[in-house]
Amino acid sequence: MKARSKRLMLVGGGVALLVAAVALVLSAFQQNLVFFHTPTEIAEGKAPTGKTFRVGGMVEEGSIAREPDGVTVRFAITDTAKVIPVTYKGTLPDLFKEGKGAVVQGKLENGVFRATEVLAKHDENYMPPEAAHAVEQAQKAATTLSQ
Amino acid sequence: MTKPERGRSLLRFASPQHFYPLAGRLAPWFAAIAILLTAIGLWLGFFVAPTDATQGQVYRVIFIHVPAAWMSMFIYLVMAFWSAVGLVMNTRLSFVMSQALAPTGAMFCFVALWTGALWGKPTWGAYWVWDARLTSQLLLLFLYFGFIALTRAIEDPRRADRAGAIIALVGAVNVPIIYFSVQWWNTLHQGASVSLTKAPSMAATMLTGMLVMAFASWAYTLAVVFWRVRPMILERERHTEWVAAELERAGASSQAAGGRA
Amino acid sequence: MGQWESWSAFWDMGGAAFYVWGSYGLTFALIALELVLVFQRRKDTVQRLLRWRRAVGKDSVKRNGEGYTPAMESEQ
């Protein structure tokens, strides 16, 4: 029984040490584990400048506009606090819509984000179209009432 | 040994000799439950659950993606549990259990990655991104492969057991990282729709279909692992009289099946 | 048909047929493969252990089942 509890302590201690080590490594590499930065982080200067990185947030309502050339798209990514204007040439994913989440990859040049890749980020809500429509109506009603 | 009668009757199944026939008896029942639940789950998922407002029909991948991802994480934790029991109590059946679980865990892990890629392309616009959730799930697949390769490469079963147990325990740290990655870091992968801390953010019929498929994968795992562990036990216990008797029986019945009796 | 207007609408999956059926197809193929491998392994193990017992049986008479004779070996 004594040998058994000794082994239990060894195994338990080993696992505890390992968890601590992993926690340390993860907190050290926190920056690299982040898939995208928010517009607020960029405004605070936390995003890398001069190299490619990703910005994530919501596509601002009414911001999508096509350039006359037909391929360039302009829109804005917002986290409701700050806004980043984006330009992009290429095809957009089906789920890319105003008011929905998106992650864009590219470089920041003179305050405008030149995107080379656009990904749509959907949320964890799954509902039938009728329910989504009802939610939308309710939200509209709420905003009209509050105005 | 003066143990209460009930405790002894349960502990009986910790011995390979008693666990072997029990596993053989239970496996077909779990297989039947798995088939039944899969049929119900697929019917709910494809014919009862409505389409999703944002994603359309492609969201129906969820009925295998989420159960497979849950299973891949859960099986690894169970492997780590049996490995710890084996290291502490020196029970060899525990190691055999964790090794019998590994291939099924790896299969579910691969299924989660594969279905995730096929779901990511039409929704996100990419089959694969290196975000924290996807990367840590890929690491889990490599941990499964490492565990399987190591336990099979080492000839001496005692050393193979120990080496595998260490990978299982060390790698278990990755499981909470996978699970909480979507909360800890900005990821492209969305947060959990179903968790213990909040109400599920899914329509009821979608959720029911997904949970039924999750139970189906539990039953499947139990069935296939019980089937896989039986020959592993025979091999480990080949020097015992009960395995000799079992082999005589199996040999006689396979000859009867071959028409040579 | 529940959610579907026709079988062809069902198979089309709203245009996502490749992604949905690609997911389900591979999953069930892997499950079938796993089951085949598991039963194959049981067969192989039983046959290998039977051969091993016979090989050992020549040296260690103690382990032989009753009625075991080397003559039976040649019949197999």
- B60-88 pLDDT, tens digit per residue, is 999 999 999 999 999 999 999 999 999 99
Nearest residue in chain C measured CA to CA from B261: C76
Residue C4 forms contact with B (CB below 8 Å): yes
Q: CB distance C23–B227 less than 8 Å?
A: no
| Regions of chain A where pLDDT drops below 70 | 1, 28-32, 145-147
pLDDT at B164 over 70: yes
C70 within domain boundaries: no
In a mutational test of the C interface, the residue from B37, B42, B48, B58 whose CB has the highest number of chain C CBs within 10 Å is: B58
Which has more confidence, A7 or C64? A7
- B87-123 pLDDT, tens digit per residue, is 998 888 999 999 999 999 999 999 999 999 999 999 9
Q: DSSP string covering A39-106, please? A: HHHHHTT-SPSSS-EEEEEEEPTT--EE-TTSSEEEEEEE-SS-EEEEEEESPPPTT--TTSEEEEEE
> Other C-beta atoms within 10 Å of B84: how many?
21
Total domains in the fold of chain B: 1
- B191-205 pLDDT, tens digit per residue, is 888 877 777 788 889
Average pLDDT over all residues of chain A: 83
B57, B110, B247: residue with CB nearest C49: B247
C74 within domain boundaries: no
Bridge partners, A81 (sequence order): none
Q: What is the pTM of this model?
A: 0.86
B89, B177, B186: residue with CB nearest A56: B186
Domain enclosing residue C43, as ranges:
1-56
In a mutational test of the B interface, the residue from A6, A35, A135 whose CB has the highest number of chain B CBs within 10 Å is: A35
Nearest residue in chain A measured CA to CA from B188: A121
Q: List the chains bordering chain C where 3 or more Cβ pairs fall under 8 Å.
A: B
What residues of chain B lie within 8 A of the CB of A125, using their CB? 54, 193, 201-202
In chain A, pLDDT over 90 holds for what percent of residues?
13
**Rounded to an integer, what distance in angstroms lies between the CA atom of residue A41 and that of residue A25?**
23
Q: DSSP string covering B157-205, please? A: HHHHHHHHHHHHHHHTTHHHHHHHHHHHS--SS---SS-SSS---B-HH
Residue C40 forms contact with B (CB below 8 Å): no
B142 within domain boundaries: yes
What residues of chain B lie within 8 A of the CB of A37, using their CB? 186
